[in-house]
Structure 1
Amino acid sequence: MSKIAVALLLAIATSASALAGEGMWTPDNLPKTQIQAQYGFTPDARWTERVQKAALRLAGGCSGLFVSPNGLVLTNHHCVNSCVQQLSTADRDFIKTGFLAKEEKDEIKCPEIELNRLDQISHVTARVKKATEGKAGEDYSKAEKAVKSDIEKECVGKDSERTRCDVVDLYHGGVYDLYKYHRYQDVRLVFAPELEMAFFGGDPDNFNFPRYDLDMGVLRAYESGKPAKVADYFPFSKNGADAGEMTVIVGNPGGTDRQLTIAELESTRDVDLIPTLFLLAERRGLTEQFRSGSDEHWRIAQSDLFGIENSYKALRGRLEALQDPTVFELKRKQEAELRDFVNADPARKAKYGAAWDEIAKANGAYRNIEAQYKFIEYGRGFSSKYFDYARALVRGAAERGKPNAERLREFTDSKLPSVTQRLFSTAPVYPDYEKVKLAWSLTKLREWLGADDAFVKQVLGKESPEALAKRLIDGTKLGDPAIRKALWEGGADAVAKSDDPFIVLARSVDPEARAVRKRYENEVESVVDKNSELIAAARFEKYGTSVYPDATFTERFSFGAVKGWDEKGVAVQPFTDIGGAFVHATGSYPFALPKSWLAAKDSLNLKQRLNFVSTNDIIGGNSGSPVINRNAEVVGLVFDGNIHSLGGDYWYDERLNRAVSVHSGAILEALRKVYHADRLADEIEAARK
């Protein structure tokens, strides 16, 4: 039996209840009895509310935290990397040199970062289920999307600039909650270290431990042109994390699949993970080749390469887990336990019994259209920022003229501020790089759909992918945000009259893209959603809410402790220190320390803890989450998981899974002694007084 399988066997031996460190809990359903029994601590209502509002979500896929009453925000460097790159130029490369705003006036707005502070959770399950009751297929899909759009619009009201509202599906549709956020779109870069230190060890060290990274970045939220005033923020702990200490991670895990059916897991493994890994491997080689062309190409492509390599490693870990036959057998036993419970009672069987088979049929339907869906609607065949802009303009022009409840979900009133933030972004677009990406993706479109496919012929005609990419990019003006804004404000008439080649392309492919999207929503998504609700109801009957919901990129609390682990008989200690970074360094990328650290070595406390691990249950999206103690003080900043955590999408094993964080003491040590950022260190430390 494999090591993974043994771990899972132990994990599900208690089937109905979570293990001590397991669980990504919503703020309104913390396992207080369990926490008290394990750690001697019970989070009360005020503690929970304060922590909830001091933590943040970066809408692009990360987490963060307020660390001062003046809107100062701490997160990871890799979460602000895109902003750092967008603000850089060939002559001023903040990726290599780092960035420090010495004064408030030097803080620069990030073109595309949005921060969300969770203010309120409301229960809307009854309203959503009433709207979808008795419906199936297209009728179910339309009703569900309409009621969600209506709820969100009512929640936002007339304050879309500062308010964001999302209806969130929990327990795969067993519960629907409305999350109301305070939205910050004026977000400015304050500090970022050099990439050499923020990602020290590079891809070889990624998802591993020991680590020696200062993966941190500092932003500031602004409102009305001034630093935002916030009531709830996290002070730094005086000493930081210590061995055995209870730790709480509060962040926004992107998604887990711990409650999926066997049919869904098989589809994930065979139809999603394997093809995606093939494409990522090719894309990595393509990006490496472009990046090796010059120093400027290196700068342009580094953010993409980090994302590709990170995704490849993470998804490979998930695939390896799902390819272990013993693991799958254990998952089958887990599903059988719930199905046996349903089948044991005639009434439950009549109500829920067919749900698993219906989901299996829907996944069969998905296999018939997945290539068209991914390459046409999802956009894999048109990998270019220019096409993204064009599609947003074409669809925005069509959708904004419809009643809110009838629009595509991404163009409802509550979502439009995020659409326009990306569309009007001042971030530069690099034509030569876009040509490489677009030509490759058009090649993949032809490869996966076939050279004789009618849609492929419509797109390529007699041109090669390279020739078409060159013609489109040489002829477009969508790299200019003023042009994009004029087209958006001009509405349907302006977009219809535009002869920009990317607008023409987006208009021509939109009917086919909408058609395959409709098939996906009606034949796959709506069936899975409806029957997942039934399985969730059965799970509630058996377990209640003692089981946490799968992650949904919404705020979750995870409780654990600072603790190493045993790796094949060798004890892995929970801490690394600054001195270890100098020992680990080789002088060559990615193990080269930046000049700033080499110059500061004699002044640094080499025994200061740098990185540490804890048993907290996390997943992608938790990057930038605060690690706090029972006093709601920052003891660390999450930036990674260890290699064992890659299977955390499907289960959690407290013996092996670890969150990896930057120690709070290292953050202050670096700010003062390496970067001489006393203004920031003073502001952070003043918050604890």
Structure 2
Amino acid sequence: MKTKKILFALLFLLPFNWVKADEGMWFLMHIDRLNHRDMQQMGLQLTAEEIYSVNHSSLKDAIVQFGGGCTAEIVSKDGLVLTNHHCGYGAIAELSSPEHNYLSDGFWAANHQEELKPKSLSVRFFVRMDDVSERILGKVDDNMSEIDREKVINQEIAFIERENSEGGKYVVSVKSFYNGNEYYYFVYQDYNDVRLVGTPPNSIGKFGGDTDNWEWPRHTGDFSLFRVYTDRDGNPTEYAQTNIPLKPKYHLPISLKGFQENDFAMILGYPGRTNRWMPSAGIDQNVNYAYPAWVEASKVGMDNMKKHMDNDPKVKLEYASKYAQVANYWKNRQGMIDALQQHETAKTKRIAETAFNKWANKRKNRARYGEVIPTINGYYEATNEQSRHDNYLIGMLRSSTFAALPYVLGNTLQFYADANDAKRQELLPKIQTEVNAQYDQLYLPLEQDVLNASLKLYAAKAQADILAPLVASLAEQYDGDFSVYIKEAFKTSIFSSKEKIDSFLTNPDVELLAKDPLYLLSSDLMDRYRHTDDDKKQAEASFQQAFRLMVEGMRKANPKKVYYPDANSTLRLTYGKIISLPPDSKNDAQENYYTTLKGTIAKYRPNDEEFDLPQKLIDLYEAKDFGPYADQAGHMPVNLLTDNDITGGNSGSPVINGNGELIGIAFDGNIEAMAGDVIFDHELQRTISVDIRYVLFIIDKFAGAKHLVDEMTLVQ
């Protein structure tokens, strides 16, 4: 009996609560209490106050959220920002033209006047955070419905955000953690004048392309440089020629000393989303319904974009960023399917849920927790087909501009048409600016093919009784082939060109809009995507309550265990060490925790889109002209591996050594551990980063932009 009790406890604790040093995305305000001693034992030389301080400059003041979806770091006293090439990709593409293609050729500003301003790019600085769990949860009780509970919580969140914004100076965001069991607010300051300073060409910044994406060994110089500007008094402001470079509170020093395996490494950044508490039934749904649909829909969109991109350099440039985004998630989702199946993640979770269910059905726990697992399982079983449908639809919305654009823009045009003359004059410039932004880089033959192919797949694969009604009708009418309908729709729709929309703005006609075929189709898709009814709302509410109680119960059953919250685009710290993958992958390096320029050259394939290289880089390698950036052993390091716990949103995050010095820039994970958003694999989970010495080598020796290196604080 005693053995059974021990086994029961181990099974219960393992999936959710056994936290080793490499696992966890930790709040900065909790480092001193939860992590600092462990980090010191691993090699950290900084105090907790030097990492996170509200009243003094600290490491957190050099970390920014970049463009709303990546991370970046300040690396000079003049606001120079380092992030990934793929994080800056959209801005670089926007600033490019066939005559000045910065994606293919690279770009390096010789001075501040040459730095380029994208239309819309911002960075967000983290100011402080605090726990408001007691305040918010004190407003609700168990007698409330989920809908009433959410309403009360949202009202209190609005109060907290107003109280801490200081009249609009700061952006304040209150976030839920542990599925609604805790709440924290975060104070930020946004800077909207951010300019491109430098980027290597695709042949360096995107070397390896889709083939090497998520793979090790890697040889990618995935970085780009930007600069933050302020007004003359150092305040955030919109773009103006008179603005000056930011004088940051803190910038990261850069190490040229290199590292050894098992050296301490920490990463600060903005991880987007993990689901480490996801139940087994949710994993089954993703593996068998949601992710396969996402993968298939993405591939259809990519194939129909690529055939046009390959035939026209201008189209290739205009759609480069969108294609890269779709391709990245396409490979990610397939990798997730493979990893979750291979590691039997659902089975592992199911064991923990069985243990929890036994605890939950003890007499003292049954009233509160007894129905939690059955409710969760029932919800997923009822929504499996809906999940498949939704992911085919999401894949279309991500790939096809015209799946959503006519709906969004059409609602604005309808409001414009119904307005009086004075209101129209007020709205007109804003609408024209939006239209210009949307249509400047659209290629209609590509858009027609993507929409047609995506509709065909959606109508064929999603369950018929939950299809968008108009799509279902058209599929029946045209026998599943939408090409004739799409061709005619683009001929007659006002959304098929900027000129037709301009004509509508001159003579607005609500009836014309109401009959527009692309508006009707887009509205049908978006209405279906957002559709809900009372039964669906009730099922969702019951599920959310059960999920919250599951997390509450698992933590209550193990009160002495240390937990970390799931990622949700808030600033986190993760720490671990520099470490190899198991030695079954071929590598050019002496050890499997780094790669070198020798391996880059070995992969070189002339005129290959993914593996071509600039001749100058080859010449530098052959001459062994690495400057002061070579490793002590004489090789030019390129990428490195650590076991830090990261996910999407951490792209561009700084990899920092025990002295607080920058040693790399995180840009990827490894395919072996693609289940990492759901369960952390201590043996295989790795972060792939570009070695900061390779970054400096490219800037200095390859690009001849040593003035940018001179701006940084280098530690020999």
Equivalent position amino acid for 1:136 in 2: S
Task: State whether structure 2 residue 298 is matched by structure 1 residue 294.
Answer: no
Task: State whether structure 2 residue 212 is matched by structure 1 residue 205.
Answer: yes
Equivalent position amino acid for 2:228 in 1: A
Q: Which moved more, 1:548-557 or 1:144-153?
A: 144-153
Q: How does 1:94-493 map to 2 (within 5 A)?
A: 94-133=102-141, 134-149=143-158, 151-156=160-165, 158-159=167-168, 163-223=170-230, 224=237, 225=240, 226=243, 227-324=245-342, 326-344=344-362, 346-367=363-384, 369-370=386-387, 373-374=390-391, 380=396, 383-385=399-401, 388-393=404-409, 425=437, 428-447=441-460, 448=462, 450=464, 454-456=469-471, 465-470=482-487, 473=490, 475-476=493-494
- Residues 24-76 of structure 1, C-alpha deviation per residue, up to 9 Å, x if partnerless? 11212232233234446564123223222211222442211111232221110
Aligned residues of 1:11 and 1:19 also touching (Cα < 8 A): no
User: Aligned partners of 1:516 and 1:649: how far apart in 2?
Assistant: 28
Gapped runs of 5+ residues in structure 1?
Answer: 1-8, 401-418
- Residues 461-489 of structure 1, C-alpha deviation per residue, up to 9 Å, x if partnerless? 968633454455554468769979x98xx
Q: Which residue of 1 aligns with 2:3?
A: none
Give how far 1:211 is off.
1.6
User: Aligned partners of 1:672 and 1:118: how far apart in 2?
Assistant: 31
1:667/1:325 CA distance change after superposition, 3 Å: closer
Aligned residues of 1:32 and 1:42 also touching (Cα < 8 A): no
Equivalent position amino acid for 1:536 in 2: V
Secondary structure of the equivalent of 2:295? helix
Q: Which residue of 2 aligns with 1:66?
A: 74
Q: Which moved more, 1:182-191 or 1:145-154?
A: 145-154
Q: Which residue of 1 aligns with 2:423?
A: none
> Which structure is richer in relative contact order (CA contacts within 8 A, separation 6 or more)?
1
1:33/1:392 CA distance change after superposition, 3 Å: farther
Give how far 1:163 is off.
3.5
Aligned residues of 1:284 and 1:305 also touching (Cα < 8 A): yes
Q: Which residue of 1 aligns with 2:97?
A: 89
1:608/1:54 CA distance change after superposition, 3 Å: same
User: Aligned partners of 2:193 and 2:500: how far apart in 1?
Assistant: 19
Give how far 1:21 is off.
1.4
Aligned residues of 1:11 and 1:653 also touching (Cα < 8 A): no
Q: Which residue of 2 aligns with 1:499?
A: 513
User: Aligned partners of 2:196 and 2:159: how far apart in 1?
Assistant: 35
1:520/1:303 CA distance change after superposition, 3 Å: farther
Q: How does 1:656-667 map to 2 (within 5 A)?
A: 656-667=684-695
Secondary structure of the equivalent of 1:85? helix
Q: Which one of 626, 646, 661 corresponds to residue 604 of structure 1?
A: 626
Q: Which one of 658, 668, 676 corresponds to residue 648 of structure 1?
A: 676
Normalised by the length of structure 1, the TM-score is 0.84
1:375/1:131 CA distance change after superposition, 3 Å: farther
Secondary structure of the equivalent of 2:582? strand
Equivalent position amino acid for 2:321 in 1: S
Secondary structure of the equivalent of 2:30? coil
Q: Which moved more, 1:389-398 or 1:30-39?
A: 389-398
Q: Which residue of 1 aligns with 2:18?
A: 17
Q: Which residue of 1 aligns with 2:548?
A: 533
Aligned residues of 1:614 and 1:660 also touching (Cα < 8 A): yes
Secondary structure of the equivalent of 1:380? helix
User: Aligned partners of 2:585 and 2:458: how far apart in 1?
Assistant: 48
User: Aligned partners of 1:53 and 1:520: how far apart in 2?
Assistant: 47
Equivalent position amino acid for 2:314 in 1: E
Aligned residues of 1:498 and 1:504 also touching (Cα < 8 A): no
Give how far 1:146 is off.
4.9
Normalised by the length of structure 2, the TM-score is 0.81
Equivalent position amino acid for 1:609 in 2: P
Task: State whether structure 2 residue 28 is matched by structure 1 residue 27.
Answer: yes
Aligned residues of 2:410 and 2:513 also touching (Cα < 8 A): no
Equivalent position amino acid for 1:638 in 2: A
Q: Which residue of 2 aligns with 1:581?
A: 600
1:512/1:309 CA distance change after superposition, 3 Å: closer
Q: Which residue of 2 aligns with 1:3?
A: none
1:442/1:142 CA distance change after superposition, 3 Å: farther
Structure number, greater radius of gyration: 2
Give the root-mean-square deviation of aligned CA atoms.
3.8
Give how far 1:677 is off.
1.2
Secondary structure of the equivalent of 2:225? strand
Q: Which residue of 2 aligns with 1:409?
A: none
User: Aligned partners of 2:468 and 2:500: how far apart in 1?
Assistant: 37
1:285/1:509 CA distance change after superposition, 3 Å: closer
Q: Which residue of 2 aligns with 1:560?
A: 576
